[in-house]
Amino acid sequence: QKEVEQNSGPLSVPEGAIASLNCTYSDRVSQSFFWYRQYSGKSPELIMSIYSNGDKEDGRFTAQLNKASQYVSLLIRDSQPSDSATYLCAVIFSSGSARQLTFGSGTQLTVLP
């Protein structure tokens, strides 16, 4: 069974620090990787997508992908209290007609003012 695993958390960082969120996945042929942010009682919000090895930066967010190690991470620079949320790693495993997102259980991040 294809799986996505994340740090169990919760993770607390002081305001202005770098938050590092990690994720591993079980299938080597996976092609598409995503990070979502979900505030309590709200729907998931797409933060980053990454499809090839290396780093991808968007503002304060950097996604890193290492397919050989089956590892994807999200760095949040200059963390703000408004970044406090649950961060979900999601993978599209490429098999047959499957195109759905498989989610990790999420890492709860708290940014302390």
Partner 1 sequence: NAGVMQNPRHLVRRRGQEARLRCSPMKGHSHVYWYRQLPEEGLKFMVYLQKENIIDESGMPKERFSAEFPKEGPSILRIQQVVRGDSAAYFCASSPGEGYEQYFGPGTRLTVT
Q: Decide if residue 22 touches partner 1 (CB under 8 A).
A: no
Residues 37-96 that bind partner 1 (CB under 8 A): 42-46, 49, 88, 92, 94
Strand partners, 7: none
Secondary structure of 74-101 as H, E, C letters: EEECCCCHHHCEEEEEEEECCECCECCE
Size of the site for partner 1 (CB under 8 A): 23
Angle ∠(57,29,2) on CA atoms, nearest 5: 100
Quick one: which of 20, 32, 70, 108 contacts partner 1 (CB under 8 A)? 32
CB closer to partner 1 out of 17 and 92: 92
Instruction: Look at phi and psi of residue 26 and say left if phi exceeds 0, alpha if psi is from -120 to 50, else beta.
Output: alpha
Binding residues for partner 1 (CB under 8 A): 31-32, 34, 36, 42-46, 49, 88, 92, 94, 97-106
